[in-house]
Structure 1
Amino acid sequence: MKFVLSLVFVIHFAALHAAEKPLVLWPNGAPGALGTANKDIPTLTPYVPAKGSGAAMLLIPGGSYSGIYEGQAEPFALWLNEQGITAFVLRYRLGSAGYRYPAQLQDAVEAMRQIRGNADRWKIDARRIGVMGFSAGGHLTSTLINRPEDGEIEGRTPAVSPRPDLAILCYPVISMITKPHATSRKMLIGDKPGDALVRQTSSELQVRPGLPPCFLWHTAEDKLVPVEHAQLYAAALHQNGVPHELHLYQHGDHGTGLIGTQHPWFGDLVYWLKAQKWIAER
């Protein structure tokens, strides 16, 4: 596929130029920080395209809330740059470092505020800032659009909204009740969470009218995160009248469709983004 071959070339070339220095998300220390090591200091790394469309995307890699899977970070930031979208990779606090919900959401909310609050600096439209997450990062994405209030810091009254203008969920973890992903659940809410916390972090139960448009995709053969997760979330979006598009692909295990593979989700997403007037026709 010519598209994939050219994409691989562009990514290798762009990797030499696009990433800026990571920004410390909380310069005075993250709320509830357990230390001062790198694992206690979430960051936001900007990737600015040569010719931007004005749209931006907060990019949230997965890793079961126990790590950051770098294969879902820079490669996709550079792919977004090729679409004219400014990307910001969030490296958030993790359960493996002792952080439980809502620390991860606090980082995502603050990231959105910093991106939107500095829209002029990045030459982006403050009304065209989306979020894109993979696997456990898809769960954090769904939580960011469902319950951003859980990530607010007591005593702060920020003027900038953390609400994304659209969301992309790639083979997402969604439910902590139905076929939960054991590691993600443990790392996010611990070994013995109460029923209220389990429901609060089961994103299919937290959907409400007025959420931003969503694009979801999953594979039926996913052995790590069952396809029911995406189906449950899409059903909740439908019931609440939230615009969305769900793509279920028959074949492929967890992580299918990474950069450099021939998979139709890239084209399907570009088509959807054009329909949202997020990227221009070429």
Structure 2
Amino acid sequence: MLTEKIDLYEYFKLPRPENGAGYLTAVIHDQSAEYCSLRVRPAMLVIGGGGYSYVSAREQEPVALEYINEGFNTFILDYSCKPVTFPAQLIEGCMATVYIRENAEKYRIDPEEVAAIGFSAGGHCLGLLAFMYDAEEVKAALGEKYKLAKLDAAIFSYAVITSGEKAHRGSIDNVSGGDKNLVERLSLENRVTPSAPPAFIWCTENDSCVPSENSLYLALAYRKCGVPYELHVFENGPHGLSTATEEVNEANPAVAKWVKLSLTWLKNRGFKIKNVK
């Protein structure tokens, strides 16, 4: 396994916001001549949560390892948090996806199999990327490269979605900076269109931090737009379960099934290792 840290602002020659992040860590398979030198792999971008106050390590490497073990090459995004506000998080997600595609040959990745997974506020960041990659702010920053930011699949894990009554108010306030004119725009159930990437959505019914309605609103938006999605609502489990194993503090075997379910869903959509000549 190899790791590499990329400064996205340096790569794209863009100014970093004051107090901003915008770093990508590649965690990928080594190209061993013994067994995998001729393989091209799907990619998974991992976006941890943290209420847009910080990025949770519990939802980064442990998650990446689950997908690495199933043949993915993974990339962990450290995006900007409070006091940095929108559109920095959107642009950083787009930069990460464009970087992955522009370097597909280097990392032995299929550029048509780029997925992303987001947790809690990281799920909101994922939604910005999935539904707003073609926003004017992105076009101004990346030019025509914005087209390379379109995801092939998205996995929403107890994601912050709405800015309405069932919002996780701290996340919305942090990413909007309290700008009331921006809050409605950041209600992602209203940003889904027929061109949205297929989605795997999961949460727990008794999440007391991010109400399960967030996931339900998103699934309904997908339904209305006719975009493929799969929804799993597990009955019991607190917020922030990540992989739901002891590695991330609390094991919940019933909820931990989401990992295998998501992998089956991805494989059914064509995400798999390919042997090339």
TM over 0.5: yes
Q: Provide the residue aligned with 1:181 in structure 2.
A: 168
Deviations along 1:51-94, one digit per CA (max 9) or x if unpaired, are 56510011111110010100111111111100100000000111
Q: Of the candidates 59, 67, 72, which is equivalent to residue 54 of structure 2? A: 67
1:157 partner amino acid: G
Q: Provide the residue aligned with 1:47 in structure 2.
A: 27
1:33 partner amino acid: P
Where do 5+ consecutive residues of structure 1 fail to align? 1-17
Q: Provide the residue aligned with 2:65 in structure 1.
A: 78
Alignment of 1:208 onto 2:199: no
* Root-mean-square deviation over aligned CA pairs: 2.0
Following superposition, the deviation at residue 158 of structure 1 comes to 3.2
Q: Of the candidates 9, 12, 20, which is equivalent to residue 26 of structure 1? A: 9
Secondary structure in 1 aligned to 2:41?
coil
Change (3 A) 1:19 1:69: farther
Following superposition, the deviation at residue 191 of structure 1 comes to 2.5
Compare the two structures and name the one with the higher strand fraction: 2
2:66 and 2:259 in contact (8 A); partners too: no
Q: Of the candidates 260, 267, 275, which is equivalent to residue 267 of structure 1? A: 260
Alignment of 1:152 onto 2:138: yes
Change (3 A) 1:237 1:72: same
2:122 partner amino acid: G
Deviations along 1:158-180, one digit per CA (max 9) or x if unpaired, are 34510010000000000011311
2:46 and 2:60 in contact (8 A); partners too: yes
Q: Provide the residue aligned with 1:239 in structure 2.
A: 224
Deviations along 1:119-174, one digit per CA (max 9) or x if unpaired, are 00000011000111000010111111111123515264234510010000000000
| Aligned equivalents of 1:232, 1:19: Cα separation in 2 | 38
Q: Provide the residue aligned with 1:15 in structure 2.
A: none
Q: Give percent identity, aligned residues only.
A: 31
Following superposition, the deviation at residue 272 of structure 1 comes to 1.0
Deviates more, 1:79-88 or 1:176-185: 176-185
Q: Of the candidates 231, 234, 239, which is equivalent to residue 254 of structure 1? A: 239
Following superposition, the deviation at residue 30 of structure 1 comes to 4.6
Q: Of the candidates 268, 271, 277, which is equivalent to residue 278 of structure 1? A: 271
Aligned length: 256
1:192-231 to 2 correspondence within 5 Å? 192-194=179-181, 197-231=182-216
Q: Of the candidates 42, 48, 56, which is equivalent to residue 43 of structure 2? A: 56
Secondary structure in 1 aligned to 2:24?
strand
Alignment of 1:119 onto 2:112: no
Secondary structure in 2 aligned to 1:269?
helix
Change (3 A) 1:179 1:31: farther
| Aligned equivalents of 1:41, 1:29: Cα separation in 2 | 14
Change (3 A) 1:176 1:114: same
Where do 5+ consecutive residues of structure 2 fail to align? 31-35
1:60 and 1:131 in contact (8 A); partners too: yes
Following superposition, the deviation at residue 277 of structure 1 comes to 2.0
Secondary structure in 1 aligned to 2:208?
coil
Q: Of the candidates 171, 179, 184, which is equivalent to residue 158 of structure 2? A: 171
Change (3 A) 1:75 1:254: same
| Aligned equivalents of 1:192, 1:116: Cα separation in 2 | 33
| Aligned equivalents of 1:155, 1:133: Cα separation in 2 | 23
Secondary structure in 2 aligned to 1:55?
strand
Alignment of 1:105 onto 2:85: no
Q: Provide the residue aligned with 1:4 in structure 2.
A: none
